[in-house]
Amino acid sequence: MSRATERWIHIDIPHQRLSLFDGKTCVAGWPVSTARNGPGEQTGSECTPRGEHRVRIKIGDGCAVNSVFAARRPTGEVYSEQLARSQPQRDWILTRILWLTGCEPGRNRGGDCDTLRRFIYIHGCPDSLPMGSPESHGCIRMRNADLVDLFEQVDVGTRVLIDEQGNSHDD
């Protein structure tokens, strides 16, 4: 049996927390940062989409911690404060990417609300950025070490529930 059928991810927007479940048992949890603009599904909104999703693609396996990604490909750069100072407007996508796809047609799949086409990821960011408060451009940001831990415990196809109610600890 695949881990993807047993393990699932719950992203609690109000509490800015990502929890990894095995069935009904929470096996790990980490602080995250979701969208500064709050929850929403509309293309161009820079909001974090709600509802049922799946991990569509895992990117970055074997890359060094703090590897920089652009257009889902490693650039060959490794994030540093010096690099950040030289490019202050850059939205850093680091270490690993879990690219999400929506499962609910008309809500987060298809048309102008498609999570995959909006390039919504769970990804690493500079460890100096705050966790526990909404600061992203729509994605779910995690500390790099936390993301590596999560990445190793999930498969393509893993269910991801993004919830603005702060509940749903049932599968």
Alpha carbon distance 7, 19 (integer Å):
10
The one-letter amino acid code at 32 reads V
3-163, superfamily in CATH?
L,D-transpeptidase catalytic domain-like (2.40.440.10)
Q: How far apart are CA 93 and CA 75, in angstroms?
A: 11
Predicted pLDDT at 62 = 94
pLDDT category of residue 171 using cuts at 50, 70 and 90: very low
Each residue of 5-44: pLDDT tens digit?
A: 589 999 999 999 999 999 999 999 999 999 999 999 999 9
Both tokens of 44, joined, read 């161009």
Strand partners, 163: 12
pLDDT of residue 4: 46
The pTM is what? 0.92
Summarised one tens digit per residue, pLDDT across range 93-145 is 999 999 999 999 999 999 999 999 999 999 999 999 999 999 999 999 999 99
Under 8 Å between Cβ of 108 and 51: yes
Report, as an integer, the average pLDDT of 41-57: 97
Task: Please determine, for residue 2, whether its predicted confidence score (pLDDT) is greater than 60.
Answer: no
Question: Pick from 56, 55, 86, 54: which is nearest to 68 by CA?
Answer: 86
Of all helices (H) and strands (E), which one includes residue 84?
Answer: helix 81-86
Burial class (CB within 10 angstroms; exposed 0-12, middle 13-18, buried 19+) of 75: exposed
Q: Where are the domains of the chain?
A: 3-163
